[in-house]
Structure 1
Amino acid sequence: MCGIVGVVSAHPVNQLIYDALLLLQHRGQDAAGIVTQEGRKFFMHKARGMVRDVFRTRNMRALPGSSGLGQVRYPTAGSASSEEEAQPFYVNAPFGIVMVHNGNLTNARQLRRELADTDHRHTNTESDSEVLLNVLAHEIARASRGAPLTSDDVFAAVRAVHQRVRGSYAVIALIAGYGLLAFRDPFGIRPLCLGRSSDASVMLASESVALEGTLHQLERDVAPGEAVFVHPDGRIEARQCAASSQLYPCMFEYVYLARPDSVMDGISVYQARLNMGETLAKRVVSTVPPSEIDAIIPVPESSRPSAMQLAQKLGLPYREGFVKNRYVGRTFIMPGQATRKKSVRQKLNTIGSEFKGRRVLLVDDSIVRGTTSREIVQMARDAGATKVYLASAAPPVRHPNVYGIDMPTREELIAHGRSVEEIRQWIGADALIYQDVQAMKHTVGSINAQVQGFEASCFDGCYVTGDISDEAVMALNAGRNHSADDEGEDTSRLSLPNADGA
């Protein structure tokens, strides 16, 4: 869950990249970084924190050049507390390469051994992104054989990367003096799109909102397995580099991660959430008669489109009953669960008049650990609701995600090993309604027939890369980000200061 951007222009790009990162801030709040290129020299600044805090005027002035990269990071592997693991990453050979990466490699441990024992390349962090950069650098060196780099060499290197690397990866890299390279894994799990501006600058970014917000016209998405090479003059070459490819984007992008005003792989995120609300309405009717519901209330922010559509479908009033405090960040060290509950209430407050004496249906985008849902249900009761029903626009989250979303371990997931009735009792709702997995896939997929399926492993346990066993999940969980500061941290989605950019 990171946001990446790359730009080639005839003009300075530091402000352009900064603006794009602000538009992608919802994808990561842990760290931010920008690298620019002037001539054959790179200039980089990165640090932990939000974009507005990491970059000051003096930092921006020290980032000259007409091409560059940026990333906002939400760590899923390695150490969240390590400043060294903020991106971009850099290697000086061959040619000099800087890279940003969104995703998660499922065979990073094996690759790290190969890099050390066979490729004789050194990695200095626990980040799988540094592993990926070194694999790319090694394959570019093999393809070029010490000669000046050609686009054929670049595409040959990406083909070799696809053969070695497993997992999810959307990548943008700058090769000093040669141009910008972007590519996507053969399943297209993590998003990446391409656009141009009226002054002929070329931008690649995780979401279309970053293009549109910086006055670039969205041209298309980078295809699964495809590599795009942008020359310094803005000329673009593209080639399919995977032996086989299928479009299986991550379903959780549409459920929660992406901004509603983005279009990803031909699917409007907003329309996807409206469609989820429509199918969820059918599930609600089979559980709770609409006559027993007085109001539909969303849990901010990303559940709003689903809740609105559900209310319209059922002919019930839609009401805003919770107000989110956008200016409360993460509470990093909290000594006990009581303090955690206080933290949730600091981030969300009720409008009492919308609950008092009413039977309310709360709509959330998903339920992961369940602790936040339990507290929200209690908040509704404390505000005077006589009945509190809870509906999730997504199906039960029963399995860990290994492709770049910081999902808890299996044991931490409220839906793992529990029936819906057991979850309902634990959360304390009068009724609990979940989205159906197949209905969700169908309703979102109907927006673009070119999408062949979805990576929905956290819901259905099917890992599209085909290399994930129970042992692999355990190994990947062992590598999840953690630090001493994480003890007691509120990791609910409400802890994000501006979850869907709304």
Structure 2
Amino acid sequence: MSDQIKHECGIVLIRLLKPLEYYQEKYGTWMYGLNKLYLLMEKQHNRGQDGAGAVNLKIDQEAGKKYFFRQRSNKTNPIKDIFEKINEPLVKLQDHEPELLKDPKYAKENLPFAGELYLGHLRYGTFGNHSIEYVHPVMRENNWRSRNLVMAGNFNLTNVDEIFKSLFDLGQHPKDYTDTVTILENVGHFLDEENQMLFRKHKNEGLSNRDISFAIEQELDVREILERSSRRWDGGYALAGLIGHGDAFVTRDPWGIRPACYYKDDEIVVVASERPVIQTAMNVRSVQVQELKPGHALIIKKDGTVTEELVRVPQKRTSCSFERIYFSRGSDKKIYLERKDLGRLLAKTLLEKVNYDVENTVFSYIPNTAETAFYGMMDGVRQELDQVKKRKILDKGKDITPEELDEILAVEPRVEKIAIKDVKMRTFIADDDSRDDMVAHVYDVTYGIVKNGVDTLVIIDDSIVRGTTLKKSILRILDRLHPKKIIVVSSAPQIRYPDCYGIDMAKLKDFCAFSAAIELLKDSGQEKVIDDVYKKCKEQQNLPKEEIVNYVKEIYRPFTPEQISAKISEMLRPEDIDAEVELVYQTIENLHTACPDDKGDWYFTGDYPTPGGNKVVNTSYINFVEGNGGRAY
């Protein structure tokens, strides 16, 4: 994706099912779980670079000793930073008393992060604040172990205001107005209620307070807590939590918007945002890694019992298709094949665009994340060319000469590595013009490959969101090669609507497709549509989210996708380049063909899976017309 957008966070939960002594004996170190935590977080660093955090819980730590340990960082390399802090006491012990470092009993009693439960998180700041206080995991502390709660998640809710108000109406005074704090306090409230209900029950039975505490820890109904607390949640989420006495959970939204997978055996339970990272870290096959079902929670009790339980009624599956196109690691077999299909399905259209003149067409990709779709595109191009060759050979029949056959068979697409990312530019330059000039040199190009004024250059990208990087740098960079024409291909459809479930795409004005549609309305004398949609949005501004309709679809209705693509091409082409520019986007139909099991496409179609999505797009449009730069949720 040439336009970098911030997106889903990554989560890791690890529960060791054996005593630390077991891992010391079998694997030569009690740090087995800690090492897996590092590996699983590092393998998901693509999911969040604004911050990272990790928590360890020591189960059954004796009274008076700390049992929760947390490290968080919002530095440039947060994973490295938190593990340097975690390792600091271990390194000191290694230097002075190395034998004690091999003693799991000593470690659990004396060393931080020597316990049975780990929770890790990688964060992108979708709520717009990058201070350390907003880095997960977040904690709600109490003197009773079963009332302590630590949470981390990959989520975004559209109705934080409703949940915040419900807490306020209960008499709470949450310390911050963010989805993170609101969810923590929301779950914490029902955790407190469950504790209180069990306390009253056992008090009536005559148990002592100490015995009641142990009884609560055994009987705490985590499923009930999650079911009650999540009733109001509107959004996408994969939320993980630890409760102070040793219970743990991961729960997923009923639409399956945000991903979560897990692996378990008799030694360990591992949960992460992506399947291949578990495969790599645990050295297991894909069939051994299970997807956490939408609307369910994986609950791990203190005694090691593991169950997957229904929390909310599953809805129509609308898993985020952007995970498939771009965000998730391409090392997952299904995602890899889907990305190849996304490229392959564009091949026929592209050959038609260049009139099947592959002799004067160069195919390439930018950025590196588009490489898999590029492979698929070239497979498709070759398949189409094979059909052309077959027809030519059949037309010639038995009269074809060896020379003619050689000429037909020799036709192959020209595949070249055109752009090489050379440096990662920092944004410390304050002057916009200077910064744009520097960004224009992020990529080096391979000179002498493109025939000046003759060749068409076809470049595939994962997705084109804002188009800013295309206009300010990439198209100028490619124009240095002096092609006759540049065709930029997006393996994703046109992004037309804001996301509100975890991706930082909240403002309509940022989308080049939306800007193009607005300009087309003005060009064709249909400005009234802009005003009419605004009036309809204002009229429903104070309605319950369940009654709001997405009228923003009317902005696009007068135009075909091809007309909007043509306008985007016109708007993004810099005036100071020589090459003609054309943009080609994936179709919605092809997207669903390539990714049949993950049809969450609201940013392309405006079909939001939850009522809160329509509320967000409604607010986003009002903000656009009124010139309000604030968030839509």
Structure 2 unaligned residues grouped into runs of 5+? 1-7, 21-30, 62-66, 90-111, 200-215, 383-412, 517-563, 574-579, 624-628
Aligned-residue offset at 1:333: 5.3
Partners in 2 of 1:234 and 1:5 — Cα distance? Answer: 18
What SS does structure 2 have at the residue aligned with 1:415? helix
| 1:97-108 alignment, distance < 5 Å | 97-108=149-160
1:339 aligned residue: 435
Q: Helix, strand or coil for the counterpart of 2:463?
A: coil
Are residue 204 (structure 1) and residue 204 (structure 2) matched?
Answer: no
2:262 and 2:292 in contact (8 A); partners too: yes
Q: Identify the residue that residue 72 of structure 2 maps to in structure 1.
A: 46
CA contact (8 A) 1:78 1:480 kept: no
**Pairing 1:280–2:346 present:** yes
Check the 8 A contact 1:192/1:204 in 2, yes or no: yes
1:457 corresponds to: 602
Question: Which runs of 5 or more residues in structure 1 are unaligned?
Answer: 446-450, 482-502
Question: What does residue 125 of structure 2 align with?
Answer: 75
Tell me which structure has the larger Cα radius of gyration.
2
1:227 matches 2:297: yes
Cα deviation, 1:91-127, whole Å, max 9, x if unaligned, reads: 1255211111102011012211222231x33433443
Distance 1:289 1:343, change over 3 A: same
> Which of residues 344, 352, 359 is equivalent to 2:447?
352
Identity, % of aligned positions:
24
The correspondence for 2:223, drawn from 155, 160, 175, is 155
- CA positional deviation for 1:182: 0.6
Report the secondary structure of 2:231's partner residue.
helix
2:490 corresponding residue in structure 1: 392
Normalized per residue, the structure richer in helix is 2
Residue of structure 2 aligned with 1:55, choices 74, 82, 85: 82
The residue that corresponds to 1:466 in the other structure is 611
Answer with 335-344 or 313-322: which moved more. 335-344
Find the aligned partners of 1:202 and 1:286 in 2 and give their Cα distance: 51
Partner Cα distance (2:154, 2:444) in 1: 33
- How many residue pairs match? The answer is 466
Instruction: Give the 3-state SS of the residue equivalent to 2:289 in structure 1.
Output: strand
1:90-489 alignment, distance < 5 Å: 90-93=139-142, 95-118=147-170, 120-144=171-195, 145-147=197-199, 148-149=216-217, 153-196=221-264, 200-215=267-282, 217=284, 218-262=288-332, 268-291=334-357, 294-315=361-382, 316-325=413-422, 328=424, 330-332=426-428, 334-346=430-442, 348-355=443-450, 357=452, 358-374=455-471, 375-418=473-516, 419-428=564-573, 430-445=581-596, 451=597, 454-467=599-612, 468-469=614-615, 470-473=617-620, 478-479=630-631
**CA distance 1:58–1:103, change in 2 (3 Å):** closer
The Cα offsets for residues 58-105 of structure 1, whole Å up to 9 and x where unpaired, read as 42344221211011111111413x111011011125521111110201
**Alignment deviations for residues 335-373 of structure 1 (CA, whole Å, 9 cap, x no partner):** 214413412523x22222444534210000000110112
Q: Which amino acid in the other structure matches residue 430 of structure 1? A: V
Verify the 8 A CA contact 1:254 1:273 in the aligned structure 2: yes
Q: TM-score, normalised by structure 1?
A: 0.87
CA distance in 2, matches of 1:124, 1:286: 59
1: CA distance between counterparts of 2:361 and 2:485?
10
With over 3 angstroms needed to count, the CA separation of the structure-2 counterparts of 1:24 and 1:383, relative to structure 1, is: same
TM-score (norm 2): 0.69
* Aligned partner letter, 2:68: F
Deviations 1:24-52 (A, max 9, x none): 00011110000011135210000103344
Take 1:330 and 1:137, find their aligned partners in 2: how far apart are those partners? Answer: 41
Following TM superposition, by how much is the alpha carbon of 1:331 offset from its aligned partner in structure 2, in angstroms?
1.9
Structure with greater proportional strand content: 1
Distance in structure 1 (CA, Å) of the matches to 2:53 and 2:428: 22
Q: CA deviation at 1:53?
A: 3.6
Cα distance, 1:221–1:43 mapped onto 2, change above 3 Å: same
Change in Cα spacing, 1:215 to 1:308, as seen in structure 2 (3 Å) is same
- Alpha-carbon contact 2:278-2:289 (below 8 Å) kept: no
